[in-house]
């Protein structure tokens, strides 16, 4: 066993555990934390890790999984709802900024044309991971300012796909421009055919069979196989692994299994993407900053100024006013993680030289580090913005849905009642047949394990106010209630139990409200019986209410006894 390789991983994990929480506490975010941790342990820092190349190969899987999750989230219906800002403002920002930077790098810095064509649009991209984290911390995700920024980021995420193809095409000097365009169109057409045929005839049936007959571990293995298999396949036909992962995400974007697959991938994605950022930090040559500090800082300031000067008037053109336009421009002025991915790929293909790559890497890092104070300034600018501009039609803030865990007879009836009350809900169930059947009826039922908080986030219910646990399997109900209560102690959990003992157990695990099936059925039957033998309605109701309170009092007594023991 290669213990040296394992030692390097341990060093990286240790550095991440120390650096990332520190940077998050400073309000700088996780991405700069990973980058700085990589710098510290790499050749330019303490020199604890020398073999950056081997680490980079493993870390590339983080990018693959990241693109996969982006593909899952880019549903056509979601894009259509925000189409004006996504395809209007987003396109204008990428093309305008990209064209300006390309012109500057080609004419002022005497860069090769192919490299300039790539650097321009890549530097136009911002950090999706960084900006969304900052918006979440500011609680501005559903404000006009936050949703406008998110719309631009969505278009930038979409732009990564043609940019991945562009790296491959620009590294083929023997092709003419016409041949490049034809090859790009052929690639795009091939990907489209793969999405349609694969999604319709292959992946959904496979996931359905695995979900129906396989153990949970097999479903996890299938999710990883789906990503890596598609990534390897596209690499074999001349495209990048990252593009293959994006295609794999698109393949299941409309599948009932997408939320569970996304949740299974998230832990791998987060860890490996962090390693990727650390590997970029280890590749960074800090000598450039010390040798030419004014040049590095000046280029970073120039990049951020260009992005602000392009996006600011563009946002005003699309109806933003009252400092929101400038706030969005400040928030998106940095370069991002996709630049790290694309420039690393361009270095591998020979499109960029090592010195140019190092300088670009330094600019990206410095722009990220400059973002948190700019984000705080943008946040202050939007403090008094209570309502969106009437000329800016953007997506309404979604209501966090109620979650029904288990969509059998009880769960489906609750769903019907919630629908009648116009209360949004999503249901999660591990019965693949039931999920398929209910999905065909148009019900919001998805394959997923409700005890996994990542699944709740994937279905858009990460901050849900209420979970109703109706699964038939009591052991499963215990796991769900326990996991949800540990993850969110203040979450309202409603659960069903078959008898007193089960109800007491669920209440003890953290469900504030527990309903016994047996007692409610018994009370209804007793009420009907007493009415038919002539007992007065008032006496009947009082008797049954006394019995109910006594029964549920026994459930609550469990908590009182636990408190006394403590």
d(CA 57, CA 464): 38
222 and 299 both lie in a single domain: yes
What's the length of the chain? 566
Residue 344 and residue 439 in one domain? no
pLDDT at 96: 95
Domain end (from 381, 411, 444):
381
pLDDT at 461 over 60: yes
Q: Are 299 and 358 in contact (CB under 8 A)?
A: no
Q: What percent of the chain has pLDDT over 70?
A: 85
pLDDT at residue 446 greater than cutoff 50 = yes
Instruction: Calculate mean pLDDT across residues 510-516.
Output: 87
pLDDT at position 279 is 81
pLDDT of 533 strictly over 80: yes
- Split at pLDDT 50, 70, 90, the class of 273 is confident
Residue 103's pLDDT band, with cuts at 50, 70 and 90, is: very high
Domain assignment present for residue 178? The answer is yes
Choose between 391 and 34: higher pLDDT.
34
Beta bridge mates, 429: 447
pLDDT of residue 105: 94
Q: Which CATH number does the domain housing residue 368 bear?
A: 1.20.1530.20
Measure the CA–CA gap between 515 and 496, rounded to whole angstroms. 5
Note whether 66 and 127 are within 8 A (CB).
Answer: no
Same domain assignment for residues 377 and 427: no
Handedness of CA 487, 490, 492, 495 (dihedral sign): positive
Determine the Cα–Cα distance for residues 382 and 372; give it in Å rounded to an integer: 15
Q: Distance between the two ends of the chain, CA-based, in angstroms?
A: 49
In a domain, 520, yes or no: yes
- Report the distance separating Cα 92 and Cα 315, nearest Å: 10
Region 127-135: mean pLDDT is: 76
What would the pLDDT profile of 202-256 be if each residue is shown by its tens digit?
777 777 777 776 667 777 787 788 788 877 877 776 566 776 777 778 777 777 7
Is 386 part of a structural domain of the chain?
no
Contacts for 199 with CB less than 8 Å, ≥ 6 apart = 250, 251, 252, 254, 255
Same domain, 440 and 529: yes
Task: Identify whether residues 361 and 499 lie together within a single domain.
Answer: no
Each residue's pLDDT tens digit, 172-210 = 665 555 555 566 556 656 665 765 576 567 777 777 777
Confidence (pLDDT) at 558: 65
Domain CATH code at residue 549: 3.40.50.720
Statement to judge: residues 316 and 209 lie in one domain = yes
Report the domain count for the chain. 2
Same domain, 370 and 435: no
Q: Is residue 392 part of a domain?
A: no
Q: Is 462 within a domain?
A: yes
> Among residues 545, 79, 19, 123, which one has the least CA distance to residue 359?
123
Which of 318, 347, 381 terminates a domain? The answer is: 381
Judgement on whether residues 39 and 136 belong to the same structural domain of the protein: yes
Residues 521 and 433 grouped into a single domain = yes
pLDDT in tens, 10-57: 888 898 899 888 888 887 777 778 888 888 888 888 888 877 777 777
Nearest-CA neighbor of 70 among 444, 328, 337? 337
| Residue 554 resides in a domain | yes
pLDDT at 563 over 70: no
In a domain, 435, yes or no: yes
Is there a single domain that holds both residue 355 and residue 441?
A: no
Q: Are residues 427 and 372 in the same domain?
A: no
> pLDDT tens, 334-349?
998 788 888 988 898 8
Q: What is the extent of the structural domain holding 172? A: 3-381
283 occurs within a structural domain: yes
Average pLDDT over the chain, rounded to an integer: 81
499 and 366 housed in the same domain: no
Q: Tell me the chain's radius of gyration from C-alpha atoms.
A: 27
């Amino acid at each position: 066993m290669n213990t040296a390789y394992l030692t390097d991983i341990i060093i990286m994990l240790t550095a991440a555990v120390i650096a990332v929480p520190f940077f998050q506490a400073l309000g700088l975010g996780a991405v700069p934390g990973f980058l700085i941790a990589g710098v510290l342990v790499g050749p330019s820092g303490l020199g604890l890790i020398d073999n950056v190349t081997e680490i980079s190969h493993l870390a590339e899987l983080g990018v693959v999984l990241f693109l996969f999750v982006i593909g899952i989230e880019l549903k056509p219906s979601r894009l259509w709802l925000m189409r004006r800002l996504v395809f209007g403002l987003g396109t204008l920002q990428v093309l305008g900024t990209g064209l300006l930077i390309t012109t500057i790098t080609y004419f002022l810095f005497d860069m090769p044309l192919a490299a300039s064509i790539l650097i321009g649009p890549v530097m136009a991209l911002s950090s999706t991971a960084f900006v969304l984290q900052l918006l979440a911390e500011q609680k501005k995700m559903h404000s006009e300012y936050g949703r406008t920024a998110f719309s631009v980021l969505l278009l930038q995420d979409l732009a990564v796909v043609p940019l991945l193809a562009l790296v491959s095409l620009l590294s083929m000097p023997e092709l003419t421009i016409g041949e490049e365009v034809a090859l790009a169109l052929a690639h795009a057409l091939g990907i489209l055919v793969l999405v349609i045929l694969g999604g319709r005839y292959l992946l959904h049936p496979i996931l359905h069979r695995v979900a129906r007959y396989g153990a949970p571990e097999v479903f996890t293995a299938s999710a990883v196989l789906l990503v890596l298999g598609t990534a390897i396949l596209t690499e074999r036909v001349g495209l990048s692994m990252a593009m293959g992962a994006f295609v794999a995400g698109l393949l299941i974007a409309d599948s009932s299994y997408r939320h569970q697959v996304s949740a299974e991938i998230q832990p791998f994605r987060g860890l490996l993407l962090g390693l990727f950022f650390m590997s970029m930090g280890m590749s960074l040559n800090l000598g450039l900053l010390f040798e030419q500090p004014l040049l590095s800082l000046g280029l970073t300031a120039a990049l951020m100024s260009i992005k602000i000067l392009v996006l600011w008037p563009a946002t005003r053109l699309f109806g933003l006013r009252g400092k929101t336009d400038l706030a969005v421009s400040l928030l998106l002025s940095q370069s991002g993680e996709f630049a790290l991915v694309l420039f690393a790929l361009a270095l591998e293909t020979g499109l960029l030289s090592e010195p140019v790559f190092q300088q670009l890497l330094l600019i990206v890092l410095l722009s990220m580090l400059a973002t948190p104070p700019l984000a705080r300034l943008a946040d202050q600018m939007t403090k008094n913005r209570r309502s969106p501009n009437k000329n800016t039609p953007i997506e309404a803030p979604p209501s966090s849905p109620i979650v029904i865990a288990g969509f059998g007879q009880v769960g489906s009836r609750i769903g019907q009642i919630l629908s009648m009350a116009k209360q949004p809900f999503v249901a999660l169930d591990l019965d693949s047949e039931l999920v398929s059947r209910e999905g065909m009826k148009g019900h919001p039922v998805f394959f997923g394990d409700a005890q996994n908080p990542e699944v709740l986030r994937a279905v858009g219910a990460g901050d849900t106010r209420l979970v109703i646990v109706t699964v038939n399997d009591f052991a499963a109900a215990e796991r769900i209630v326990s996991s949800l209560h540990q993850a969110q102690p203040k979450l309202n959990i409603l659960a069903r139990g078959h008898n007193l003992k089960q109800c007491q157990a669920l209440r003890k695990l953290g469900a504030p409200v527990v309903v016994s099936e047996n007692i409610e059925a018994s009370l209804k039957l007793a009420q009907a019986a007493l009415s038919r033998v002539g007992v007065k309605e008032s006496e009947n109701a009082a008797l049954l209410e006394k019995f109910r309170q006594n029964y549920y009092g026994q459930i609550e007594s469990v908590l009182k006894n636990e408190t006394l023991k403590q």
